[in-house]
Chain A
Amino acid sequence: MIIIKVMLKYLYGILLVSMVMVMSLRSGLYVWRTLNEFVHPYPPFHPEITECSTELLGTQGQLRGLYNYRSLGKPCQKE
């Protein structure tokens, strides 16, 4: 039992160090992503969803939420 516990503690140490190593590699990826975002900005998210755009009335989920957000306070025609 004691041997198993000691082995598990070693395993814990190895896993923890591995996790930190993977994380530091991922930080490298974040540097690349950050630089890339400055060079190539994201395109606008669903630019077709404009205030009161009637073709999107009736859609559900994320797009509907976006439509509601962009149209809030605008006198749009009701569905």
Chain B
Amino acid sequence: MSKRITILIYFLLAINVLYVLSGVIHIPLQSVDVVGIWLFKAKAFFVEGGLPLQTLKNPDFILFHPQYPLLLPFLYSLIYFGLGRVWELPILLLYPIYYVLILFLSFKVFKKMKLSTAASLIYVYIYSMLSPLLGQAGRLHAGSADIVLVLLSWIAVYFWQRSQLTKKRTLINQSAWIITCLVMVASQIKLEGLFIGSLIFSLPLSKQHKLLLLGLASMPTLLWSYLVKVLALPTDFALVIPSAWELIDRSRLIMSWTIREMLNYKNWYIFWPLFWLGLTVTKWPKSHPEILGLAQAAFLAAGAFALVYLILTIDAQAEVGSTVSAHLGSSIDRVLFQLTPFIYPIFVFKSQQIWLKIKGLFQG
């Protein structure tokens, strides 16, 4: 039976891979973020033959976030330099590869949670069907940065899990350093890549060691912020301390947009309602501290995102509520997507707990 399920799920996963591959090849380039930020800057690197200061300082392009870190556009521009021309397809073809790697890593994580191959594959399939992942893997939004952050997060979760399941100091230290390096790289793709560092807090290390790693992980972000000032790059948003009333208003908006997105079945089916239901009807087992640690990391990362929304100003001239609302509306799906590497293993764990209970009830 489980062999048949395994074959069926492999077949369904192959359909998804072909689906995103077909999207990359056939859907014309049109995503605002891809055309406006990521591939735009990669093209600018190629056109200017190096750091595209002329483009970044052009006031016509201010809405394309000139202050964002440039690692991803730079890496993609290397492909253009290698080819000697701007040709997007080789870059876009990387996205189905990211998709396969994400699914493979999630499978490895579920297997380490002692799930059978068939059960692991079923959960991988559910994850593979979520629209934000399919979208960024090749359906309309290939070329974005969020899926790269999600891939780095899954690698970090994999090594974090390894550090939780071993008692060997060398393996723990090795995992900690790898996670720190991943945070450094992720923060130079998008600043929120820094939030992957929430995993460092629950590593089995001393406080001093964790502080050292967190300090190191945030070094590229500090260096980039300094460079933005030195290079006098224009910024289209800033961080402010809002009034108490504004904070309440923003908190309300964050809550309502998050709930609205969690109920958006077109993106998530009923994944989020099931996640919350799973948390409600099961207990946190003491024998699995790693799941609690992951929940702590997810909570910290979600809190960091919420904090950014609370103190971010997008357009100081516009009415506060309306701009934050517009920003939330266009980005909350990507925020939830970026949180899935932390949250999905918890969902899988809780789901397994419930299945075992149901099975027990049938047998009992």
- Give the interface of A toward B (CB within 8 A): 5-6, 8-13, 15-16, 19-20, 22-24, 26-27, 30-31, 33-34, 37-38, 41-46, 61-62, 65-66, 68-69, 72-73
Q: Known A-B contacts: A30-B19, A44-B28, A65-B32. Give 6 more (CB < 8 A).
A: A9-B358, A11-B277, A13-B358, A15-B274, A34-B15, A72-B55
The closest CB in chain A to the CB of B353 belongs to A9
Pairwise interchain contact B269-A19, C-beta atoms closer than 8 A = yes
Pairwise interchain contact A10-B270, C-beta atoms closer than 8 A = no
B47 / chain A contacts, CB cutoff of 8 Å:
72-73
Pairwise interchain contact B280-A19, C-beta atoms closer than 8 A = no
Chain B facing A: main interface SS: helix
5 A–B contacts, CB within 8 A, in A order:
A11-B277, A12-B351, A22-B269, A23-B126, A41-B26
A62 and B23 CA atoms in complex are apart in Å by 19
Closest chain-B Cβ to A18's Cβ sits at a distance in Å of 8
B12 / chain A contacts, CB cutoff of 8 Å:
24, 27
A24 and B129 CA atoms in complex are apart in Å by 9
For residue B27, CB closer than 8 A to chain A, the reply is yes
Q: Mark B144-156, 1 if CB is under 8 A from A, else 0.
A: 0000000000000
Pairwise interchain contact B277-A12, C-beta atoms closer than 8 A = yes
A5 and B358 CA atoms in complex are apart in Å by 11
The closest CB in chain A to the CB of B33 belongs to A65
Closest chain-B Cβ to A73's Cβ sits at a distance in Å of 3
Sort chain B's interface into a size bin: 35 or more
Pairwise interchain contact B15-A31, C-beta atoms closer than 8 A = yes
For residue B61, CB closer than 8 A to chain A, the reply is yes
A16 and B275 CA atoms in complex are apart in Å by 10
Closest chain-B Cβ to A57's Cβ sits at a distance in Å of 10
Q: Mark B332-364, 1 if CB is under 8 A from A, else 0.
A: 000000000000000000010011011001000
Closest chain-A Cβ to B343's Cβ sits at a distance in Å of 16
Contacts A6-B361, A68-B40, A72-B44: A45 and B270 contacting too (C-beta < 8 A)?
A: no
The closest CB in chain A to the CB of B48 belongs to A73
Contacts A44-B28, A65-B32: A33 and B19 contacting too (C-beta < 8 A)?
A: yes
A37 and B20 CA atoms in complex are apart in Å by 11
A16 and B129 CA atoms in complex are apart in Å by 14
Contact residue among A19, A46, A65, A66 (Cβ-Cβ distance under 8 Å from B274): A19
Pairwise interchain contact B30-A20, C-beta atoms closer than 8 A = no
Closest chain-B Cβ to A45's Cβ sits at a distance in Å of 4
A42 and B27 CA atoms in complex are apart in Å by 6
A19 and B265 CA atoms in complex are apart in Å by 10
Contact residue among B39, B46, B273, B355 (Cβ-Cβ distance under 8 Å from A69): B39
A23 and B128 CA atoms in complex are apart in Å by 10
For residue B198, CB closer than 8 A to chain A, the reply is no
Closest chain-B Cβ to A67's Cβ sits at a distance in Å of 10
Pairwise interchain contact B60-A34, C-beta atoms closer than 8 A = no
Question: Which one of B12, B29, B40, B273 has the highest number of Cβ atoms from chain A below 10 Å of its Cβ?
Answer: B12
